[in-house]
Amino acid sequence: MSTVQDRTDRLVVAEGRPGAWARTRRGRTALLYLLPSIILFSVFIFYPMFRTIYLSFFLTDQAGEAAVFVGLDNYKYLLESAAFLNSAKATILFVLYTVPAGIIISLFLALLANEKLKGVGFFRTIYSSTMGVSVAAASVVWLFMFHPSIGMFNRFLAIFDFPQIQWLLDPQWALISVAISTIWMNTGFSFLILLGGLQNIDEHLYESARIDGAGYFYRLRRITLPMLSPTLFFIITISLINAFQTFGQIDILTKGGPAQSTNLIVYSIYREAFVNYQFGTASAQAVFLFLCILVVTILQFRLGERRVHYQ
């Protein structure tokens, strides 16, 4: 009896071996397909990230090589630096200026463009056209619009005899001016994503609500926003990350001035590394920015995702 059982066990094991070998072969094939992506991520993401963390514990020479190990001194220096704390404050204000206003404007335009009206396709094209303009080109246009003497905004103020504003030269207005241009640049992308989300909402829900006598704002509050919540969650997360990483318009419009009022953390990292050649403190700032974005993203997923309706 035991001999028969032993033979049966050996047959089961023998039949199982080809399956395990096939699974191993499929795994190797999958890794082979993933190898190009793994190499690209390793070279352009993982290595720079770990290199930045490594350099944040050192004083570096002008070539960016680690020279003297200082431990956490670079981080202590940042926390005691008035310039860095000012950059952190300016970054938080910039995020508060751009993200809520940009999402509200994009949602408003998407709701307008989602209406079934004649010629609405033209307006959809206009609203999303900012996606086709590069940050550099758009910043140059806004630079002329904010010009104190020939700019459109001050000419408009002059019509109503309002005092002229030094948009990019006054510390009280510079960050707001950059925020206005940033909102305009980001509206096209947010609008297009939100419009796609609106068009995916089942029309039968609106028809049932109309039959029950529900008004427009009731339908907006009870149907549109809940069904659009996954798209809104995505847009809010992406907008927060992009706002923390803003660089191009700062470099072209203000270069961090006046009086460091627009010196956001990303621009501060650039100046510290490639102007002052202090790669150690620049790396520490980069790690700090990474942690800020990580914390904000985690909080967004922890708190914001509870209000998301996926069905």
What's the pLDDT score for residue 302?
86
| CA pair distance 259, 262, nearest whole angstrom | 8
Residue 114: CB atoms within 10 Å: 18
What's the pLDDT score for residue 83?
92
Which tens digits make up the pLDDT trace of 96-123?
999 999 999 999 999 999 988 888 889 9
* Alpha helices per DSSP H over 245-305: 248-253, 265-274, 279-299
**Residue 298's pLDDT band (boundaries 50, 70, 90)?**
very high
Determine if the peptide bond prior to 100 is cis (ω within 30°). Answer: no
Residue 20 has pLDDT above 90, yes or no: no
Give Cα 252 distance to the centre of its chain.
20
CB 286, CB 57: distance < 8 Å: no
Residue 291 has pLDDT above 60, yes or no: yes
What's the pLDDT score for residue 19?
60
Mean pLDDT of the chain: 89
Could you give the count of Cα atoms lying within 13 Å of 42 in the half-sphere of its Cβ?
6
Which tens digits make up the pLDDT trace of 141-198?
999 999 988 899 999 999 998 999 999 999 999 999 999 999 999 999 999 999 999 9
| Closest to 198 measured CA to CA, from 292, 116, 90 | 116
DSSP string, 88-150: HHHHHHHHHHHHHHHHHHHHHHHHHHTS--TTHHHHHHHHHGGGGS-HHHHHHHHHHHT-TTT
Residue 216 has pLDDT above 90, yes or no: no
| CA pair distance 66, 274, nearest whole angstrom | 16
Residues 6+ apart with CB under 8 A from 262: 90, 94, 174, 175, 178, 250, 253, 254, 256
Percent of the chain exceeding pLDDT 70 equals 92
pTM: 0.87
Q: Please, is 109 exposed, middle or buried when counting C-beta atoms within 10 Å of its C-beta (0-12, 13-18, 19+)?
A: buried
The mean pLDDT value for 222-226 works out to: 91
> Amino acid identity of 94?
F
C-alpha angle 189/263/137, rounded to 5°?
A: 40
Which tens digits make up the pLDDT trace of 24-75?
888 888 889 999 999 999 999 999 999 999 999 999 988 888 889 999 999 9
Residue 14 has pLDDT above 50, yes or no: no
* Residue burial 214-251, b: 16+ Cβ < 10 Å; e: rest: beeeeeeeebbebbbbbbbbebbbebbebbbebebbbb
Residue 1 has pLDDT above 50, yes or no: no
